[in-house]
Amino acid sequence: MIKITEKYNCTGCHACANVCPKECINMESDSEGFLYPGVDLKSCIACGLCEKVCPVSNKKDIDNEPQAFACYSKNEQVRLESSSGGIFTLIAEQIINEGGVVFGVILDKDMTAVHSYAESMEQLKAFRGSKYVQSKIGEAYKIAGNFLKKNRKVLFSGTPCQIAGLKAYLQQEYDNLFCIDIICHGVPSPRAWGKYVSYQESHMGSKVQGANFRHKDKGWNRFSMELEFNNGTRYIQTLDKDLYMQAFLKDACLRPSCHKCSFKTLHRQSDITLADFWGIQKIAPHMDDDKGTSLVFANSGKGKLMLDRLQNLIVSERVDIDKAVCYNPAAFRSAGENPKRGAFFEDIGKLPFDKLAYKYCSESIVITAKRKMTEAAAKVLKKTGLLHAAKKVLK
Ligand SMILES: Cc1cc2nc3c(=O)[nH]c(=O)nc-3n(C[C@H](O)[C@H](O)[C@H](O)COP(=O)(O)OP(=O)(O)OC[C@H]3O[C@@H](n4cnc5c(N)ncnc54)[C@H](O)[C@@H]3O)c2cc1C
Ligand code: SF4
Ligand code: SF4
Ligand code: SF4
């Protein structure tokens, strides 16, 4: 029977809960807001299946030769609505066109990230865009397994640990299964995201009805968090100033397992890996227009075939995988733990999100504010013709 003695060793993938024949594993939230399995001992029959499928304690080595590509969709609207180059939507559309089912992450009406499935182009739209918070798998593996057994094509997308969880749960290969994972920095706490949403709601006096973590109004490189409220108002702020993105990027609120991730490798269980092609301006500058370029790994024969089928719909170029990941260390290295992470979570129940972020993640926010003030002051001095004189005085 599964027992979590060390939180670093549980990714919250839900494979154990999905496989339990007695349905006696509940995924329970800890004080940080992450889900861990809890076993109802009265119902457990000690069959050992939960331990057998756990992808962390039964790590799989993959022997493959991934190929890397710089890609983006020729459909400009899809590309601008997606986090990087819009490749996820193109693959998902192929699967729907073949009568298949697509699993991905949506934000439900309470702004909780959950895995769900789509059987139509319209339903697919909700999966578009990265949701920077851990999604709840729920019963998604069981549902996907049932579709697979009925010979429906299934595309399952998620973090590398979620794909490992699905494959471990299924315990067999399926020709009709296609998996997409991402280069994964790590997943922030659903509790931290909930606190941020509540803070924004009380600030605006209205409920959040939609969130886009990767709005491209200022470009793909300097993306923005966008929130839409029930009263018609809108919040939009670049990643360097948005308090939630700062807490995420400063590694103050990631799941413990993300700091010792067992799935950081170039030899992955998925068919396709999607990522932002950070560093594209150095590797293939002609493919960088700041609208979003994806780094894509074709990890399997199925993945390579899929990219071939997309050729008319994408702009793509083969790149050297080792050079490409130099600019994206999350592909192979776990995020370091912020030394203030523990204190952040100790205070999460006591402080509103803005105070929490200013207290524990403020360094870069303050530096950005100072830089802005210096730039603004320089502009005024330039306008008044005093910039040269001021520089002399400062020297
Ligand atoms: C938590 C997280 C961390 C990431 N870290 C990095 C990183 O360090 N470096 C990097 O290059 N790229 C990272 N990415 C991937 C990147 O943000 C894009 O998702 C990727 O480039 C695909 O973009 P796209 O334009 O093809 O499609 P999009 O439409 O933007 O991608 C949507 C896909 O992402 C999935 N998805 C969305 N939110 C989640 C979630 N919470 N959990 C699991 N799957 C989700 C959807 O189901 C769908 O499959 C991360 C994504 C997430 C969700
Ligand atoms: S040992 Fe079997 S019955 Fe008990 S929790 Fe694990 S899977 Fe469920
Ligand atoms: S199967 Fe997944 S959720 Fe269950 S213990 Fe292992 S990592 Fe945690
Ligand atoms: S960093 Fe690793 S453990 Fe964390 S969500 Fe990503 S794949 Fe899972």
pLDDT in tens, 160-200: 999 999 999 999 999 999 999 999 999 999 999 999 999 99
Cα 132 to middle of ligand 1, angstroms: 8
Burial 140-169 (b: 16+ CB within 10 A, else e): bbebbbebbeeebbbbbbbbbbbbbbbbbb
Report helix, strand or coil for 117.
Answer: strand
pLDDT at 48: 96
Q: Is the CB of 348 under 6 A from ligand 4?
A: no
| Nearest ligand to residue 37 Cα | 3
Residue 372 has pLDDT above 50, yes or no: no
Q: Is the CB of 159 under 6 A from ligand 4?
A: yes
Cα 341 to middle of ligand 1, angstroms: 23
Domain with CATH 3.30.70.20 in the chain: 7-53
Among protein residues, the one with the nearest Cα to ligand 1's atom 41 is: 131
CATH topology for 7-53 is: Alpha-Beta Plaits (3.30.70)
pLDDT at 371: 46
Instruction: Please identify, by atom number, the ligand 2 atom nearest to the C-alpha of residue 48.
Output: 1
Question: 87 φ, ψ to 5°?
Answer: -70, -35
pLDDT in tens, 190-230: 999 999 999 999 999 999 999 999 999 999 999 999 999 99
Cα 203 to middle of ligand 3, angstroms: 37
Helices 140-149 and 160-170: angle between axes, nearest 10 degrees: 50
Least confident range from 8-12, 316-320, 333-337, 367-371: namely 367-371
pLDDT in tens, 136-153: 999 999 999 999 999 999
pLDDT at 362: 76
Pocket of ligand 3 (CB under 6 A): 2, 10-16, 37, 54, 56, 165
Cα 382 to middle of ligand 4, angstroms: 48
Q: How far is CA 375 from CA 81, 216, 378, in A?
A: 31, 23, 5
